[in-house]
Structure 1
Amino acid sequence: MRIHDIALFTHRGAVRVRNEDAVFVGGTIFQEDLRDVVALRLTGSPHALLIADGMGGHPHGDLASHAALAFLTSQDGLLDGSAACETALHAANERLYELMDEPTRIGMGTTIAGLVLQETAMIAFNVGDSRAYRLSSGGLHKLSHEDVVLPPGEGIAPARTHGITQALGGSTFPLAIVPHVCVEPPLQVGDKVLLCTDGLTDALNDTEIETFLQLSASPAIIIQKLVRRAISAGTRDNISVVVGVCV
């Protein structure tokens, strides 16, 4: 039986007036600003870890992120496999457009990134620019694909433009999505995972992230160090982080 120690943190950050991020771990959606890192132990399988970033500049980003997580975690199929995950993401996108029945909600949207921890595999998925990483003996591997606008002449590394090319919802009329879903080997003892919104990755590059994940410390301590570093580096966005380790 696999055991995973998970820690999470979500906060509006130093500049924003409200938190439009949301995190799902261990059966609970976290969206209110946390004063401390929350640590949990998950036993058995499967388990879903999810993070969502309501789109800034659009109405009701906080509602969009919470609604997406609530819908996805109500779908039994999310845990069943990659095809079921993709189906659930399409359904979540449709659900957000259904919620735009009030004029003030039109255009609300959210990114999504998640991991499904199974006994024999790990499923990673995302839509938008929230990220998922895995750290193993082979180093840091980004599992997510960033749906962001590249400036002219660029084509290798995504620029931090905050212009995303797809999300759950996010338009005045329904648009289809193309979710990024991949199947990875299950976590081995000592392997770590990270989910985060761009409040972290706007401030830290992959080399810095890997340095923190390599620390022989608990997930809670690693999150504390990551968040402190991002704030000291001047991040201006909401910041949400999930770190897990297979023990």
Structure 2
Amino acid sequence: MAESEPSQPAAMFALSDIGCIREKNEDSLHIDPGLGLAVLADGMGGHRAGDVASQLAVDTVVEMMLLADRQKDLQNLLRKSLLQANQEVYESSRKNTDQFGMGTTLVAALLQGNLAHIAHVGDSRAYLLDKDKLTQVTEDHTYLAQIERLGADAGQIIADSAVAKMLVRAIGIEPEVEIDHCEIPLKPGDCLLLCSDGLTDMLSDEEIRDILLQNKQGESTAEKLIQQANRKGGPDNVSVILICP
């Protein structure tokens, strides 16, 4: 059965904050309720031009989806837009010495009727709040998460948080990258959250769920999430996008 097109665009709210310690915000984000598109990227800390990488990746995805034929396979088009973003960031880093080694995470959501197409690389996450249940839709592309997926003992990895957080996949580091993608059904009352690890490193899933449940006002909910992350130290940039069908 074909999905019915929504009578009006889903409400979307985007907010980014530098945090309490960083000197520069290397996160980039974009929302287009009319297109049903939301994109969030976290430039890789410790690498030069992380902000350039994240903005270039977001701009590439947005440009490709603006030109996309909505009658075609949108899930595949979204995946291809992330592949193009990887190519653009990789090539830019090779052409500009001050950008060499730059990279970024990226998570994107594209709404089509009652479906949300999700594509991502890295450890920026997508969550779905269904009634009072919060589910992480994406899988982190970190060393720790990879070890756990393989069923190996992660004890030593957990003891070294720097190693645990290392990305095994990111946009722009290699000429090719594998894109994870999926689609999830949405219904009125659900809430889709895209966020950088500046949020999830500070707040547990339970804390995020409680804030989403207690604050149903869209932009104020985004503000509350960021405020709480900063209240716990805010060591990283924090970015969130809320999508409410």
Q: TM-score, normalised by structure 2?
A: 0.84
Corresponding residue of 2:167: 164
1:105 paired residue among 99, 103, 107: 99
Corresponding residue of 1:213: 212
Judge conservation of contact 1:72–1:78 (CA < 8 Å) in 2: no
| Structure 1 unpaired stretches of 5+ | 27-41
Corresponding residue of 1:37: none
| 2:105 alignment partner, SS class | strand
Q: What's the RMSD between the two structures over aligned residues?
A: 2.2
Identity across matched positions, percent: 31
Cα distance, 1:221 vs. partner? 1.7
Letter in 2 for 1:83: N
What are the superposed Cα offsets for residues 153-190 of structure 1, whole Å, 9 maximum, x if unpaired?
Answer: 229x99773311111113xxx342111100111x2111
How many residues in Structure 1 have an aligned counterpart in Structure 2?
224
Corresponding residue of 1:190: 189
Cα distance, 1:148 vs. partner? 0.4
Name the CA distance, whole Å, in 1 between partners of 2:62 and 2:9.
21
Which structure has greater strand proportion? 1
Corresponding residue of 2:81: 88
| 2:242 alignment partner, SS class | strand
Q: 1:78 to 1:154 in 2, by over 3 A?
A: farther
Name the CA distance, whole Å, in 1 between partners of 2:84 and 2:53.
14
Name the CA distance, whole Å, in 1 between partners of 2:69 and 2:211.
30
Corresponding residue of 1:47: 36
Corresponding residue of 2:110: 116
Cα distance, 1:106 vs. partner? 1.2
Judge conservation of contact 2:42–2:124 (CA < 8 Å) in 1: yes
1:12 paired residue among 9, 18, 35: 18
Cα distance, 1:137 vs. partner? 2.9
Judge conservation of contact 1:135–1:193 (CA < 8 Å) in 2: yes
Q: TM-score, normalised by structure 1?
A: 0.84
1:21 paired residue among 27, 30, 52: 27
| 1:147 alignment partner, SS class | coil
Residue 179 (1) aligns with residue 179 (2): yes
| 2:63 alignment partner, SS class | coil
Q: 1:154 to 1:2 in 2, by over 3 A?
A: farther
Judge conservation of contact 1:21–1:62 (CA < 8 Å) in 2: yes
Cα distance, 1:216 vs. partner? 4.9
